[in-house]
Chain A
Amino acid sequence: MLSNTYPVISVKDLKRTYSAKIGVMNQKKKSVEALKGISFDIYPGEIFGLLGPNGAGKTTTIKILTTLLAPTSGEAKVFGYEAFGEEKFIRHRINFIFGGERSLYWRLSGEDNLKFFADIYKIPRSKQNELLDCLFDEVGLTDVRKHKVETYSKGMKQRLQIARALLNEPEVIFLDEPSLGLDPVAARALKKMVRQIADQGKTVLLTTHYMQEAEELCDRIAIINDGEVVALDTIAGLKTIAQNESNNDANLSLEDIYVHFIEGRAICKV
């Protein structure tokens, strides 16, 4: 369907092994194969979901694509450039948020945080004021922009992160469990913002454990388990496969589909 456009993100047979030392006296090297050769393409304007249990390799994938981790082998390209080696052609065009409350300077105000990163991203001073007003408005933090981040709630911190990630007008934005620990209202606000980001034509790669969030947002989903992609399609496509494989005509929810691909198949194989 999208064969006439080039993918913004292209991952081919990507592998990553971590080596960790265990023990104190007799240190042994233990290696963990976090990614065992995954492949997928993401096209411009898509919201692409990466679902999978804890430890499946989602964060590892995002770290590689955001130039923060080198692949062990295989290919990870963003805009056609290698994520490790050609990062200077990528970095100014992407941005990302990792879940959790860190990644901000808690002692600074929300405004100072954005100013700092605006300078780090070399955004011209003449544009900054208007941009910051706009972003604070977009994430609904205008009235607390002068307050210290340590006084923000989790949801507010997450919204500030979004504003931070939009500073450089990225073409691709990576969201690793952005709704982690948010209350339902904050999670809904976040969902709305992700939708808005996509409506502006940006490409989004999202990981989440909330099936409803994935269902409402994602155009296509890759389910990843133990370092391997076990399924990749639109939600409707995944549903068809799951229904066929499990001989189940019932109207499967995304959660049913997810459980099928993570557990059901394994049980079938035994």
Chain B
Amino acid sequence: MDSFKRLIRKATLSYKGLFAVMSVQQYLMVNLGSPLMQMLCFTLIARYVYGTVDISHWFIGNALVLTYFNAIFGVGVQLTQEKNSGTLKLLVASPSSGVGIFLPRAMLHIFDGLLTVLFGLVIGSLIFDFYLPISSWPAFLLILLVASFSAMAFGLIISCLGLLTRDLNLVLNIASMAMLGLTGANFPLDRMPVWLQPIGQLMPLTRSIEASRSLYSGALLSDLSGILLGEFILGIVLMAIGVVMFSIMTRVAVKLGVLEMF
């Protein structure tokens, strides 16, 4: 029980301490405004390119990919932020392991990311006539949850890179571009260069985007369970890689003396 309570409080406090904004207006501007604008932009480009064709396909992809915002700018920068606030050393020198330190931090971002996507969907349904029958919503929510989970797991790996590099911005940009470009959100995966396709399959969100599009086209959740399980397992694997990377990279940083360097 204690460890569960700890998990919840570490999750909320680290979210509040590093990421959360101070007011509702600010939340709407920062955490919703910019990702939603981006979604509109890409979807409108798709409308322009594909003309009169129903663009819901692209709209769904772009809505799901919004979880990248929390994954990269919430979870991905967390260890660099700890460095900046001088608290990284306190965490590293504590008896808590990597799991105890940085997994809780990803938790609230999973829900925050999900919320962003839901806002995106509402806006989309107003602008693009996106419509999903009520009966499909529970399944859709489940897909979103799994998608957000695996996106945050990816963010954990990114955050570890912040332990050793001072050019995290470069990493963040590459990671954002990969999430926007290689998950099938904006470009059909099967038309990408052959060598890029396997990378697309290793990216978070690829499977969720495919699943939600199928759901929109009328597939049942039971038809999608395999692909959804795939996304979930990918999330677990990414998370495990993140935890191992954290312990290896803190050790390397302690050896090189760069734990606190920017």
Q: Report A's interface with B, CB cutoff 8 A.
A: 16, 18, 63, 66-70, 84, 87-88, 91-92, 94, 96, 98, 100, 102-108, 112, 115-117, 119-122, 124-125, 164, 168
Question: Which residue in chain A gives the minimum CB-CB distance to B1?
Answer: A125
Indicate whether A107 sits within 8 Å of B96 (C-beta atoms), given known contacts A67-B254, A69-B259, A119-B6. no
Q: Which of B5, B18, B94, B254 contacts A121 (CB 8 A)?
A: B94
Chain A residue contacts of B13, Cβ below 8 A: 105, 108, 112, 115-116
Question: Which residue in chain A gives the minimum CB-CB distance to B8?
Answer: A119
- Interface residue SS majority, chain B: helix
Chain B residue contacts of A104, Cβ below 8 A: 85-87
Q: Please measure, in the bound complex, the distance between the C-alpha atom of A120 and the C-alpha atom of B85, giving whole angstroms.
A: 17
Chain B residue contacts of A168, Cβ below 8 A: 95
Asked if B181 is at the interface (CB within 8 A of a chain A CB), the reply is no
Q: Which of A88, A92, A117 contacts B90 (CB 8 A)?
A: A117
Do B94 and A68 have beta carbons less than 8 Å apart? no
Q: Which of B2, B87, B254, B257 contacts A103 (CB 8 A)?
A: B87
Q: How large is the interface on B (under 10, 10 to 19, 20 to 34, 35 or more residues)?
A: 20 to 34
Do B259 and A122 have beta carbons less than 8 Å apart? no
Indicate whether A18 sits within 8 Å of B257 (C-beta atoms), given known contacts A108-B16, A119-B10. yes
Q: Report B's interface with A, CB cutoff 8 A.
A: 2, 5-6, 9-10, 13-14, 16-18, 20, 22, 85-87, 89-96, 100-101, 254-255, 257, 259-260
Question: Which residue in chain B gives the minimum CB-CB distance to A102?
Answer: B86
B28 to chain A, nearest CB (A): 19
Q: Which of A69, A91, A115, A122 contacts B254 (CB 8 A)?
A: A69
Q: Which of B86, B100, B257 contacts A120 (CB 8 A)?
A: B100
Chain A residue contacts of B18, Cβ below 8 A: 105, 107
Question: Which residue in chain A gives the minimum CB-CB distance to B10?
Answer: A119
Q: Which of B14, B16, B85 contacts A102 (CB 8 A)?
A: B85
B185 to chain A, nearest CB (A): 33
Do B17 and A108 have beta carbons less than 8 Å apart? yes
Do A68 and B91 have beta carbons less than 8 Å apart? no
Chain B residue contacts of A98, Cβ below 8 A: 86, 89
A124 to chain B, nearest CB (A): 6
Question: Which residue in chain A gives the minimum CB-CB distance to B90?
Answer: A103
Q: Which of A70, A94, A100, A122 contacts B6 (CB 8 A)?
A: A122
Question: Which residue in chain A gives the minimum CB-CB distance to B84?
Answer: A102
Do B95 and A112 have beta carbons less than 8 Å apart? no
Do A96 and B257 have beta carbons less than 8 Å apart? no
Which 3 A-B residue pairings sit nearest by Cβ, starting from the closest? A102-B86, A105-B17, A103-B86
B23 to chain A, nearest CB (A): 13
B167 to chain A, nearest CB (A): 14
Q: Which of A63, A69, A103 contacts B85 (CB 8 A)?
A: A103
Indicate whether A88 sits within 8 Å of B86 (C-beta atoms), given known contacts A67-B254, A119-B10, A125-B5. no
Indicate whether A66 sits within 8 Å of B93 (C-beta atoms), given known contacts A108-B13, A116-B17, A119-B9. yes
A162 to chain B, nearest CB (A): 13
Indicate whether A67 sits within 8 Å of B93 (C-beta atoms), given known contacts A18-B257, A107-B17. yes
Chain A residue contacts of B255, Cβ below 8 A: 70
Chain A residue contacts of B5, Cβ below 8 A: 125
Do B16 and A107 have beta carbons less than 8 Å apart? yes
Mind listing 27 A-B residue pairs with CB under 8 Å? A18-B257, A66-B93, A67-B254, A68-B92, A68-B93, A69-B254, A69-B259, A70-B255, A84-B254, A88-B95, A92-B95, A98-B86, A98-B89, A103-B85, A104-B87, A105-B13, A107-B16, A107-B18, A112-B16, A115-B13, A117-B90, A119-B10, A120-B96, A120-B100, A121-B96, A125-B5, A125-B6
Question: Which residue in chain A gives the minimum CB-CB distance to B251?
Answer: A70
Q: Please measure, in the bound complex, the distance between the C-alpha atom of A70 and the C-alpha atom of B91, giving whole angstroms.
A: 17
Q: Please measure, in the bound complex, the distance between the C-alpha atom of A70 and the C-alpha atom of B257, giving whole angstroms.
A: 7
Chain A residue contacts of B101, Cβ below 8 A: 120
Chain A residue contacts of B6, Cβ below 8 A: 119, 122, 125
A195 to chain B, nearest CB (A): 24
Do B9 and A115 have beta carbons less than 8 Å apart? yes
Chain B residue contacts of A96, Cβ below 8 A: 93
Question: Which residue in chain B gives the minimum CB-CB distance to A125?
Answer: B2
Question: Which residue in chain B gives the minimum CB-CB distance to A60?
Answer: B257
Question: Which residue in chain A gives the minimum CB-CB distance to B252?
Answer: A70
B102 to chain A, nearest CB (A): 11
B252 to chain A, nearest CB (A): 10
Chain A residue contacts of B94, Cβ below 8 A: 91, 117, 120-121
Chain B residue contacts of A107, Cβ below 8 A: 16-18, 20, 22
